[in-house]
Amino acid sequence: VPEGITSICDAAFEGRSSLISVTFPATLTSIGNYAFCGCTSLRSITLPASLTSIGQEAFNGCSALASV
């Protein structure tokens, strides 16, 4: 996710089965509802200290998620 982004909207990446890892910029403050829901190949996410809100079921169904 590019630097300068402050939020990920609802369902932005929902169902993207090819997504393996995500690194968020230091500017990110919120992740919307269902933003990464159903990303079954997502293994790793890196959350910034600036994050203040994670929406409902944002990472639901991310069955391969092993590292946060």
Per-residue pLDDT of the chain (68 residues; tens, 9 = 90+): 889 999 999 999 999 999 999 999 999 999 999 999 999 999 999 999 999 999 999 999 999 999 88
Number of H helices, E strands in the chain: 0, 5
Instruction: Write down the pLDDT at residue 39.
Output: 98
Whole-angstrom Cα distance, residue 66 to residue 47?
A: 14
Instruction: Write down the pLDDT at residue 13.
Output: 97
Instruction: Write down the pLDDT at residue 60.
Output: 97
pTM summary value? 0.91
Domain span at 26: 1-68
CATH of the domain at 38: 3.80.10.10
Instruction: Write down the pLDDT at residue 68.
Output: 87
Domain count, the chain: 1
